[in-house]
Amino acid sequence: MHMVPPMSLMFRSPFYRMFWMSINDQLQTEALEANLLADAETARDLEGLRRRVIEQGLVIEELGAMVAVMSKMLIASGQLDAQVLEHRVDAELDQRRAPPVKPAGTCVLCSRQRPGEQLSTTAYGAVCSGGCA
């Protein structure tokens, strides 16, 4: 919060000094009210986020429990190999977490079709990275 300088000292007349002090008090009260409203809004936002994190955590926990039970049942019945499952889950996670592949495109200079990783995006369109060959 900003500090209001002691403007009241600029006025010699007690009337103007009092007048300024009442304006000053009003300004400070309004600033304080605005801060309180902003704080209340932030608190509501944080409370909403906190609730959503908890709700999503509970859903994730339920899904995890269901996957764990299904895996254990399939492994116990011999229909699933635990090690194969682990490798496949790792591979799936690697695939899902990999950065998106840039789509193939055509160079606006040489008109050649190139894979996305060999093209650079410019304001004029895609061009061969490192120059056309």
Distance CA 44, CA 52 (A): 12
Asked if 104 interacts with Zn ion (CB under 5 A), we say no
Taking the complex as a whole, the smallest distance from the CB of residue 130 to Zn ion amounts, in Å, to 10
Residue 105 and residue 68: Cα distance in Å, rounded? 43
By CB under 5 A, residue 108 contacts Zn ion: no
Residue 74 makes contact with Zn ion by CB under 5 A: no
The span of 17-25, 84-92, 95-103, 106-114 binding Zn ion (CB under 5 A) equals 106-114
Of all residues in the shown chain, the one whose CB is closest to Zn ion is 107
Query: Rounded to an integer, what distance in angstroms lies between the CA atom of residue 32 and that of residue 39?
Result: 10
Give 79 or 113: the residue with its C-beta nearer to Zn ion: 113
Question: What does the radius of gyration of the chain's CA atoms come to, in whole angstroms?
Answer: 33
Based on CB atoms, which residue is closest to Zn ion, 60 or 132?
Answer: 132
C-alpha distance from residue 92 to each of 96, 110, 130 (Å): 6, 38, 33
Q: What are phi and psi of 128, to 5 degrees?
A: -60, 130
Q: Which is nearer to Zn ion, 4 or 128 (CB)?
A: 128
Structure letter (DSSP) for residue 103: P
DSSP assignment, residue 2?
A: P
**Contact positions with Zn ion (CB under 5 A) in 43-62:** none
Q: Cβ of residue 78: shortest distance to Zn ion, in angstroms?
A: 56
Closest distance of CB 119 from Zn ion, Å: 8
